[in-house]
Amino acid sequence: MNKPSAVETKTRVIKKSKIDYSQGPPPVSINAAWCKACNICISLCPQNVLAADIEGKPVVAQEENCIQCGACWTHCPDFAIKSNYK
């Protein structure tokens, strides 16, 4: 197998979510105790919803951007992300 290209910067147009999260929980909750800070969720999120905290674990930074694609929680190897879709 050849070397992969470096992780690309996402260039997708950010769509505004139709959902208003201001009244309830954030779109995803992260179980920091189970998270091992692998960076997959942050990297795969097409909307830059997640950002790394000081330990490298994800925190919800721009919840209004979430389009509920599921990339973060279906790729989490540590059973640590839960979707809070309403």
- Report the interface residues with another protein, using CB under 8 A: 1-8, 18, 28, 33-40, 43-44, 68, 70, 73-86
Determine the Cα–Cα distance for residues 11 and 46; give it in Å rounded to an integer.
Answer: 9
Nearer to another protein by C-beta: 7 or 13?
A: 7
Tokens (6 digits) for 46 = 């097409």
Min. distance of Cβ 62 from another protein in angstroms?
19
Nearer to another protein by C-beta: 22 or 85?
A: 85
Q: How far is CA 70 from CA 3, 12, 54, 74, 81, in A?
A: 27, 16, 24, 6, 10
Residue 15, sorted as left (phi over 0), alpha (psi -120 to 50) or beta, turns out to be beta
Min. distance of Cβ 66 from another protein in angstroms?
11
Min. distance of Cβ 28 from another protein in angstroms?
8
Nearer to another protein by C-beta: 40 or 61?
A: 40
